[in-house]
Chain A
């Protein structure tokens, strides 16, 4: 059989980014998937982005990824979340036409040069001398390559549950991938189970829409991609809101035992931020209603996604409780909600490049690393792809810092802390939150995108122009002053801003909370500020002081961060560490105290021991 540079196992959100980046770097790339019609399939909610996730999508775009373009192209509703809150925590979210999204991604992959798509189930890896050199597929044939990236999502030993019905598979309609994770575990990897769930899909026509409240999208569309037009391609649609009630809860509570999770059949850990309706009712029994959104899965789709009601109760019970909800009295399900339990590898076993520590040229990305979400998966796919390609091409590693990007936070968290539940990104996970904003993504990452080489040079050029223009106005604001004369004071009074006592630079003026970029032209008549930099300029100026303080604070907490730990420490000999801590530390071999602190299971007292140990033994 033919041989390739890189083989990507899986064509979900991680697999797509990984394969595109490899192919675009000129490597001969093969994508193997069990079902080509489900390329880039949205297995759960039909939307891209959200708080912190929207940041990731924009970051990917500036680095040269594909997700942002697909999301813009197939957007059927746009919302800027937290629009009323500060700029650092605003997040864009599109709702997408699920089928069109899949079509867009299939088209992009098939049109991509150097990229071959094939339907096949990978049964095992070919490993020689701790190096992955190819894969074996179900018919027993072998395909050789220089590197392999596993992006198998929830498919490794996936089991689906609907009540007492248990079936092998990673998603309804698709079979599980059996054998791969068993082989990996034989090679000494720690493989664990996680659980996730998805709500029922309902027939559009079986819903009484008059009993629901309409939820509209925003009027203004801010595309994810730097290159997308701010004009929407598709007609926009509405979502609808309804609520559960005490009757609903009663039925669920009565049937808890029939839920595989409460019946003790599933032992994988589910995400706390995305509990099943069973969970919500048990843990927050004082609430007598829960919101649920009815989200169409596409413009012409007959399928409605019932957000917030993920469940694995038996089908008849699902019907019973759905019928108690306003608008759903006569609802028919296309498919009931279900839970999936699957294998993931403890991500502390991979490097920041997403290559495994045990086996060279083997990469893992996405849910197989314990993450959750399309965006988190795509980001890892991209980083794994770049690094696999760079390793083959003998170029330098591509690692984003925690202060550079949410993608950096995501990967650093996973590979140093590991995870107990499906890992989702939150803004609060980023200690440099004020710095990592959607509005300055280009500022933060365009150089990184360009230097690693998949960002097209004409796009990079445009980004540079944008940044130069921003810089030009920043300097202008710094250098030009307004003076305390009658006219100025009057203008300020009109803007409900305090009068001047001494000359003030435009920059200082803009720092006042009530003054906005558009007000600057009142004081400086011949100035023409392009629309697209107005907000970014203002945010940058207003946030400058806070960002500085955040940095200082991080420095204070990270005094220890830079404290180096010798690489040849045998932690087994250090007093004051638990057996678990000794094992973990010996396994991870942290480079710094800071990294040691982030290892889960390593307690503060252990860090104190390390500090005292360093002090007591290194300086002696």
Chain B
């Protein structure tokens, strides 16, 4: 059997806007028959159904069926009629993208119809009846990638765009799409190639009359390149937070008011909240947006010395959640007599040592916020003052604290304010070289370590072929980010930079 891909020649379709009722929905078609299929279900406004001829607002044109030869990147106003039962489906805008000029490189059509799931379903049904098939997840991107319209980085960015949950994350993905990250990484690649070319020339052409041992230049170049890598790594955390959202866990003993605080915060922005229900014994999550930045709030099971197996599991999860978080809200009931501060140690003991935590981790004093809750019930404020003293005594005086109550919306505002004040730098995107894929992070980390070794070895006059091994390692990893393979470019570089020849 001949092994050939018929799938790539199919015309595919899918609803490209999120599911649900909205103003409009967009249905996208891709493949050789994209336009002809749509043309089959379009019809003139003044057809036999006898509707009056209407002018398309602002264009002076009469709505017609689609033309024989459409212009690329032009939108056409038309009506769609079902070929199954002759019923009018919708009034739509059809935008046509010619072969080679679309996002995927194929002939592509976008139908903007009214955002009603039933309408969309009917249109799709017709398209499939006429020979289209439903696109698989990410298939448009796959096609764009296959047709060389986007590179690997861009393809990944699009996928991350599809999955991105906040506006900020969208911005970064868009920047990556524009190739800014590709450019930044290419700069690293360029630097490493240059250094390696010099080292290789020193090995393979040591008999030649060439100057390759300008060590200071090499060190300088290496340092600069390493610096770019380090900066990009430092930005990863930021990129991750921007993409996945800031992670905030409410931690504390049972019944200190964690859940009601969570609800109060969610209540502030209910319209954009997506609640994921859990059991009371498990962690409960909710999301809010703050200045366009996604914030994940996690309510955890109250921590105490339980003998119940299920509760123990819940408590364990609370600790893990807090440890993974960017911020921990440690909630204290001001009416209570005491609280168990050892919970905090349990959380931070998960960090084996300071060195192991990511370099750019927010400092601990920003990581924990002491939340003195139920101040509305502390009529004269004495209990609150008492707790402030306790915090001081326990050695947490440098940590921020705030006073809240969860009875009204306003009661939880100090928490929002805290996030705004302390994480505002994560709420703006200033650098274009933010990486937000864990794959990129891993590869860059390897490159970072290799560069560090190179710098040490250059200092210690190591054997050139061993230094070359480390530069090669860095280069291989950087190239993998770009989806490139190590090839002859080092030798090409040697020949273009040095006069070699006996």
By a beta-carbon cutoff of 8 Å, the part of chain A in contact with chain B is 45, 50-52, 81-82, 85-86, 88-89, 272-275, 279-280, 283-284, 287, 290-291, 293, 307-308, 310, 426-429, 433-434, 546, 549-550, 553, 556-557, 566, 568-570, 573-576, 597, 604-605, 607-609, 612-613, 616-617, 620
Contacts and interface: CB of A to CB of B under 8 A. Distances in A.
B18 to A, nearest CB: 25
A557 to B, nearest CB: 5
A418 to B, nearest CB: 12
Contacts of B468: 428, 433
28 contacts: A85-B203, A86-B465, A89-B465, A272-B500, A280-B501, A291-B209, A428-B200, A428-B204, A428-B490, A429-B491, A433-B468, A434-B465, A434-B469, A549-B473, A553-B472, A569-B3, A570-B4, A573-B8, A574-B5, A575-B5, A575-B143, A575-B146, A605-B483, A607-B485, A608-B151, A609-B145, A612-B146, A613-B146
B121 interface: no
A427 to B, nearest CB: 6
A426 B463 CA distance: 17
B152 interface: yes
A605 B499 contact: no
A282 to B, nearest CB: 11
Contacts of A290: 209, 499
Contacts of B483: 604-605, 608
Contacts of B200: 426, 428
B48 interface: no
Given A570-B4, A605-B151, A612-B145, A433 B465 contact: yes
Given A88-B465, A546-B466, A273 B145 contact: no
B34 to A, nearest CB: 16
B464 interface: yes
Contacts of B413: none
Nearest to A292: B502
Interface string B122-162: 00000000000000000000110111100110000000000
Contacts of B206: 51, 81-82, 85
A85 B466 CA distance: 10
B501 A428 contact: no
B145 A576 contact: yes
Contacts of A613: 5, 146
A556 B5 CA distance: 29
Interface in B165-209: 200, 203-207, 209
Interface string B1-27: 111110110000000000000000000
Contacts of A275: 499-501
B485 A604 contact: yes
Contacts of A284: 499
Contacts of B142: 612, 616
B465 A426 contact: no
Contacts, number: 129
B4 A52 contact: no
A81 B3 contact: no
Nearest to B463: A86
A612 B145 CA distance: 9
Contact of A81 (B143, B207, B473, B500): B207
A210 B472 CA distance: 46
Interface in B321-374: none
B484 interface: yes
A52 B2 CA distance: 44
A608 to B, nearest CB: 5
B304 interface: no
B204 A576 contact: no
8 tightest Cβ-Cβ pairs between the two chains A and B: A86-B463, A576-B146, A284-B499, A291-B209, A272-B495, A573-B4, A275-B501, A575-B146
Given A279-B501, A553-B473, A597 B463 contact: no
B455 interface: no
B145 A52 contact: no
Given A89-B464, A566-B3, A608 B152 contact: yes
B476 interface: yes
A617 B7 contact: yes
Contacts of A553: 469, 472-473, 476
Contacts of B463: 85-86
B484 A604 contact: yes
A45 B501 CA distance: 13
A284 B495 CA distance: 11
B491 A428 contact: yes
A570 B152 contact: no
A546 B469 CA distance: 8
Nearest to A613: B5
A283 B500 CA distance: 11
Contacts of B502: 45, 274, 293, 307-308
A580 to B, nearest CB: 14
Contacts of B491: 426, 428-429
Most buried by A among B5, B152, B209, B465: B465
Nearest to A199: B502
B7 A273 contact: no
A609 B203 contact: no
Contacts of A576: 145-148
Given A85-B465, A613-B146, 15 more contacts: A51-B203, A86-B464, A86-B466, A88-B465, A89-B204, A274-B502, A310-B501, A428-B200, A433-B465, A573-B5, A575-B8, A608-B483, A612-B142, A612-B146, A616-B142
B484 A287 contact: no
A274 B499 CA distance: 9
A280 B499 CA distance: 7
A401 to B, nearest CB: 18
Between A85, A310, A575, the greatest number of chain B beta carbons within 10 A of the residue's beta carbon is seen for: A575
Nearest to A568: B3
Contacts of B490: 428
A506 B495 CA distance: 44
- The residue among B8, B142, B205, B485 with the most chain A CB atoms within 10 A of its own CB is B485
A550 B469 contact: yes
Contact of A287 (B151, B203, B495, B499): B499
Contacts of B3: 566, 568-570
Nearest to A310: B501
B44 to A, nearest CB: 36
A82 B3 CA distance: 51
Contacts of A291: 209
Nearest to B485: A597
